[in-house]
Amino acid sequence: MKLLKAGPSPFVRKVLVTLHETDQYDAVEQVQVTASPLTPDPNLIAANPVGKIPALIRDDGPTLYDSRVICRFLDHRAQTGLYPEIRQFDTLTLEATADGIMDAAVLIVYEERFRPADKVSMEWIEGQWAKVSRALDAVSTRWMSHLHGRIDIGHIGMACALSYLDFRHDARKWRTGRDALAEWHAGFAARPSMIATEPDT
């Protein structure tokens, strides 16, 4: 199998952490591509017509894309229980919350990176950060007991989302007023799977 990836994408990191946590890291070849929203890599478009990463090219089936699909496939392949049936919908909702944080955080980067400076909308950027902030508050008030339970895809997604905020939006100080979530993240970030997938740039 081949995993198409680009840069420090939190969605790619979620897949990489899942590969580590399910002992499948060495079963996948990692291929670097360009994932610009303006000029995506032809190889990426061939694998995923939407032109987004990650994409998992399989040897025995169609290419899978979207981190949620890929992680679900990898968990099923390894039978590691990252989508526990007993709390399946809670887990999926926490994963979706993490993905929402990632999506808004990435869109802020895109707004600043790909728009001409005179057309960057600070109002739009603040609107995206408001989504992040509301999601963090929801996790802090509703999901801490889940995060302190057995590891599942919700844990992996949230850890990758929070680490991406540190990486790209550290000046926003997401930890302020969210001590319990910050403490949880510090513990999860020390896992070997997180250390091994820290972005370089």
Domain that holds residue 62: 2-78
Residue 19 to residues 49, 71, 100, 124, 130, Cα–Cα distance (Å): 24, 8, 21, 35, 31
- Please check whether residue 10 lies inside any domain of the structure: yes
In this structure, what DSSP letter does residue 56 have? E
What average pLDDT does range 102-129 have in this prediction? Answer: 96
Q: Are residues 188 and 109 in the same domain?
A: yes
92 shares its domain with 74:
no
Q: Where among 25, 52, 78 does a domain terminate? A: 78
Domain end, chosen from 55, 78, 101, is at: 78
- Report pLDDT digits (tens) over 121-176: 999 999 999 999 999 999 999 999 999 999 999 999 999 999 999 999 999 999 99
6-10, 16-20, 37-41, 114-118: which is most confident:
16-20
pLDDT band at 201; cut points 50, 70, 90: low
- Looking at the predicted structure, is the pLDDT value of residue 40 above 90? no
99 and 74 in a single domain? The answer is no
What are the backbone dihedrals phi and psi of residue 58, each rounded to the nearest 5 degrees, phi first? Answer: -95, 155
